[in-house]
Structure formats: structure tokens, C-alpha cells
């Protein structure tokens, strides 16, 4: 539940994984098969020769610097900025408020915007979760997406606890929060039981 496109993330990870596997396979093959090592060495020498012959063809004025070198630096900077933007987006999406309600100014001059902070929602849910002995720990955070702001709730269950029972406890806690806020907030609930993770409250995610 953040502002980062999930499909783009998965595609990038898939491509990076394929490249890493390909490089690893080539390195292993070069170490085990002498013919492949010789072929790789020949390709490396050919590439080095091509670079040495190409760089002098586009000098910057009377200097020894090549436009090809400057172009490569620009491309690397653009790639670095895109990677930095992607990394920032991974940690982004956090919100300090859960919901806001604006009341028009009446004839007496009363009106304005009322904002409910994420800390308030966190306190309400944590207080409700403490009543369930099957829940070891919990974490609540507000996340902002392109369309709305929602809550991400992570619950750590005791060993042998029933995820269904904890889901019911989570639904009751969310009902209390809805009553306190006067509005239903989108929520993603994750229940962890040891190495397994169950996702609950799917009807609250939009």
C-alpha cells in the first residue's frame, strides 16, 4: 500500500535477477570450460579495441576528451537519478493523517477542516489488539496512495494461534475505529504466524 507501481517493481526485480543469473552462468562456464574462457577473452579484447578506435573520432574541440565519454557520463547520471527516485519511492507513501473532513463556514463563522492523525488510529487499534491474548505484537501505519489514504496493519500471532480468530479480532478493532472516525478507512491487514503470513480484511482494501 504505497505509491510505487507494483508491476514495475516486479519487472525490475525480474530483469535484475535474470542479468545476475546470466553473469553468474557465464563466469562459471568461463572458469570450467577453457574454450569459453578463450572466447570471452577474445570478445573482451575486441570490445576494448573498438572503444579505443571509436573515442578519438568525436573529440571535444582540441581536447583529448571524447563526446562519447560525455554522453556515457550523462546516461549514467540519468540512470543513477532514476534509481534514486525508485529507491525513494520504496520508502515513501507514509501519511501523517488518516482522513480529513471539511465543514463549510456557517452564518456564525464556524467551519474548517478536521484532520484525524495516524497516531489516533494507531492508538485505537493497539488498545483493541491488547485485549486479544493471541496477538504478540502489532504495527499500524498510514499509507498514502494516488487515490486515498489507508492503514496497513501487521499482527504477529502466538504459536498455535488461529488466524481466523485473530482476523475476527482485527475486524472488531476496525469496527471500533470506523465508529470513532465516522467513516470507513481502507485497511490492509497482515497476520503472521511463525513463517506463515495470512492476509485478512481483503474487503477493506481498495
Say what the pLDDT of residue 93 is: 66
pLDDT score, position 64: 77
Adjacent-strand bridge partners of 196: 193
- 51 to each of 40, 55, 68, how far by Cα in Å? 17, 6, 10
If residue 75 lies in a helix (H) or strand (E), which one and from where to where? helix 67-91
Q: What is the pLDDT of residue 176?
A: 87
Domain boundaries, the chain: 6-91, 97-204
Which pLDDT does position 74 carry in this prediction? Answer: 93
The span from the CA of 60 to the CA of 70, in Å, is: 9
Which regions in the chain score pLDDT beneath 70?
1-6, 88-93, 106, 111, 146-147, 194-206
Per cent of the chain over pLDDT 90 is 7
What is the distance between the alpha carbons of residues 105 and 199, in angstroms, rounded to a whole number? 42
Q: What is the pTM of this model?
A: 0.49
Predicted confidence at residue 75, as pLDDT, reads 94
Rounded to whole angstroms, the Cα distance separating 17 from 20 reads 5
Q: Residue 197: its pLDDT value, please?
A: 45
Q: Are 126 and 138 in contact (CB under 8 A)?
A: yes
What is the reported pLDDT for 190?
87
CATH code at 97-204? 3.30.70.1350
Helix (H, G, I), strand (E, B) or coil at 99: strand
Q: Which of 160, 166, 159 is nearest to 191 (CA)?
A: 166
Amino acid at each position: 500500500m504505497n505509491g510505487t507501481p507494483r508491476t514495475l517493481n516486479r519487472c525490475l526485480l525480474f530483469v535484475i535477477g535474470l542479468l545476475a543469473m546470466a553473469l553468474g552462468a557465464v563466469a562459471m562456464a568461463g572458469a570450467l570450460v577453457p574454450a569459453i574462457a578463450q572466447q570471452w577473452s577474445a570478445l573482451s579484447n575486441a570490445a576494448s579495441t573498438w572503444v579505443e578506435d571509436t573515442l578519438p573520432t568525436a573529440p571535444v574541440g582540441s581536447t583529448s576528451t571524447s563526446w562519447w565519454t560525455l554522453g556515457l557520463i550523462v546516461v549514467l547520471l540519468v540512470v543513477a537519478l532514476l534509481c534514486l527516485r525508485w529507491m525513494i519511492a520504496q520508502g515513501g507513501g507514509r501519511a501523517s493523517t488518516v482522513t480529513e473532513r471539511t465543514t463549510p463556514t456557517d452564518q456564525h463563522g464556524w467551519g474548517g477542516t478536521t484532520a484525524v492523525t495516524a497516531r489516533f488510529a494507531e492508538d485505537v487499534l493497539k488498545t483493541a489488539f491488547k485485549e486479544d491474548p493471541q496477538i504478540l505484537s502489532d504495527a499500524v501505519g498510514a499509507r498514502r496512495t494516488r487515490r486515498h489514504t489507508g492503514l496497513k496493519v501487521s499482527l504477529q500471532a502466538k504459536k498455535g494461534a488461529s488466524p481466523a480468530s485473530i482476523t475476527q479480532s482485527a475486524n472488531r478493532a476496525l469496527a471500533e475505529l470506523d465508529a470513532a472516525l465516522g467513516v470507513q478507512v481502507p485497511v490492509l491487514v497482515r497476520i503472521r504466524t511463525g513463517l506463515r503470513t495470512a492476509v485478512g480484511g481483503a474487503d477493506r482494501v481498495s
